[in-house]
Amino acid sequence: MSARGHSVHSMPTDTLLGFQRATRHEPDQVVVARSADDIRSALAADDLPVAVMSSGHGQGRVLDGGTLISTRQLTGVTVDPARKTAWVEAGASWQHVVDAGAPHGLAPLSGSSPGVGAISYTLGGGTGLLARRHGFAADHVRRIDLVDMTGTPHTVTADSDPELFAVLCGGGAGLGVVTGMEIDLVELTTILGGGLHLPASPGVLDGWRRWTGTVPEEMTSAVAMLVLPDLPMVPEALRGRHVAQVQLAWCGDPAEGREVLAPLRELGIILRDTVREIPFTESAAVFDEPDRPHAYRSTNRLVSSLDPAALGELVGITGPSAPVTTVVGIRHLGGALARPPAVPNVVGHREAAYSVMVLSPLEEPGDAAVVEGLHDTALTLFDDAGLGRSLNFSYGAMTPEQVRECWAPADADRIAAATTAIDPTGRLLSNQPMPR
């Protein structure tokens, strides 16, 4: 055991476990950081391999030996109401930021699950509940404090180092260890949001697709499709059914929002309707995702359009006859996401109109191969309109070639140059094999 770290044997087991349970780091020691200085000294102490864990939602590759830096105690958030900004520490989840902003009538560009770490989400771009109105989370970063692999701290802004700032905003989590970040907040206390559950069918998916072509930017929506278990914890109307859950977040006038979403109620039988005005502090209700740690794998495509025939086939191959449980998640993009940000960054494939993700829980040891086969078949349906991949929506390690597909080739080269400059020996094991 080192003087600064803790032997893994003396740590509570859950210090090594993230939300993602498919993988587990096996470090020699764990540094549970209680300050940015702890992160600096952990990196300066030696040149052992190192990995960072916040909530563990995005864990991919695992560390074997070396030092794991856990940021889970660094959850501080300081709001500056006059500037409408928040300073967010390395381990803060979106719920920490949402709760800190709410008393000031301010909200962050957080995503579907408020337990996700705000820093890594933003480094990967960040497609949130207000995305079509305000753009990517990475488009609203003002300052990043990071530590390089020698333990040297750097404060990076668009003025101090425009190239490194551009690459950090959207270039993923391979560029040193971020100790804190200043981000913009937007004026917002409530949204009209929730889910409309209908029986899954090609007609429902295509109806949602057509409807997305008509909605203003205040509407950010997605559709999830899954076969729900026939269990008491599932609402009775949905038990054992193949369901399409249209997930809606409207940030304009609520009465107008109700009119905008009205055509969706004509798409089929509404099995369950949870749409209501909700405080943003309860924004988890929109996607209503599982908040219990588990093992999962996903892959995705960013596409320029959705082919109705492909949607129809997708319903069939991921439904009750699928060899493994598969959740389909399609998000409507465009709007502010498609516009260049005020300060340039490397967020990839802004022109994408939708993201298509397939996700499966890994319940049995042999599941991974079957899951990968099914996911490949499902996403091949969208090859004709494929633009690339989303880094954030890839759960489970990708190949280096797949990771590069998250950006335009020239931007992947810029990320590689910055990564090599900050971490010449490849000491930092990020969740994905980043360009270098």
Ligand X SMILES: Cc1cc2nc3c(=O)[nH]c(=O)nc-3n(C[C@H](O)[C@H](O)[C@H](O)COP(=O)(O)OP(=O)(O)OC[C@H]3O[C@@H](n4cnc5c(N)ncnc54)[C@H](O)[C@@H]3O)c2cc1C
Shortest approach of ligand X to residue 126 CB, angstroms? 5
Shortest approach of ligand X to residue 280 CB, angstroms? 14
Shortest approach of ligand X to residue 301 CB, angstroms? 15
Of residues 206 and 405, the one with the C-beta less far from ligand X = 405
Interacting residue ranges for ligand X, rule: CB under 6 A: 18, 52-59, 71, 90, 111-113, 116-117, 119-121, 124, 126-128, 173, 177-178, 289, 392, 395, 430-431
Shortest approach of ligand X to residue 115 CB, angstroms? 7
Structure tokens at 338: 């498609």
Strand pairing report for 153-156 and 77-80: unpaired
Kindly state the helix (H) or strand (E) to which residue 29 belongs, with its residue range. Answer: strand 29-32
Buried-state track 86-118, b at ≥16 Cβ within 10 A, e below 16: bbbbbbbbbbbbbebbbebebbbbbbbbbbbbb
Bridge partners, residue 331, by sequence: 222, 355
Tell me which DSSP letter residue 46 carries.
-
Of residues 122 and 201, the one with the C-beta less far from ligand X = 122
Edge-to-edge order in the sheet of strand 50-53 = 6-7, 29-32, 67-70, 50-53
Bridge partners, residue 88, by sequence: 77, 181
Of residues 303 and 310, the one with the C-beta less far from ligand X = 303
Q: Please enumerate in sequence order all residues whose Cβ is within 8 A of that of 250, keeping only pairs 6 or more positions apart, or say none.
A: 191, 192, 193, 218, 219, 220, 257, 260, 261
SS3 state at 176: coil
Shortest approach of ligand X to residue 154 CB, angstroms? 13
Of residues 212 and 431, the one with the C-beta less far from ligand X = 431
Shortest approach of ligand X to residue 248 CB, angstroms? 14
Q: Please enumerate in sequence order all residues whose Cβ is within 8 A of that of 401, keeping only pairs 6 or more positions apart, or say none.
A: none
Q: Mind giving me the DSSP string for 199-234?
A: E--HHHHHHHHHHHTT--TTEEEEEEEEEPPSSTTS
Whole-angstrom Cα distance, residue 55 to residue 118?
Answer: 10
Of residues 201 and 300, the one with the C-beta less far from ligand X = 300
Shortest approach of ligand X to residue 286 CB, angstroms? 10
Q: At what angle do helices 202-212 and 308-317 cross, to 10 degrees?
A: 140
Of residues 280 and 395, the one with the C-beta less far from ligand X = 395
Phi, psi of 224 (to 5 degrees): -110, 140
Shortest approach of ligand X to residue 309 CB, angstroms? 28
Shortest approach of ligand X to residue 299 CB, angstroms? 13
Instruction: State the burial class of residue 248 (Cβ atoms within 10 Å of its Cβ: 0-12, 13-18, 19+).
Output: buried
Of residues 128 and 433, the one with the C-beta less far from ligand X = 128
Of residues 314 and 434, the one with the C-beta less far from ligand X = 434
Helix segments in 54-149, DSSP class H = 94-101, 118-123, 131-134
Bridge partners, residue 329, by sequence: 224, 357
Of residues 112 and 326, the one with the C-beta less far from ligand X = 112
Shortest approach of ligand X to residue 321 CB, angstroms? 26
Of residues 282 and 289, the one with the C-beta less far from ligand X = 289
Structure tokens at 62: 């695992």
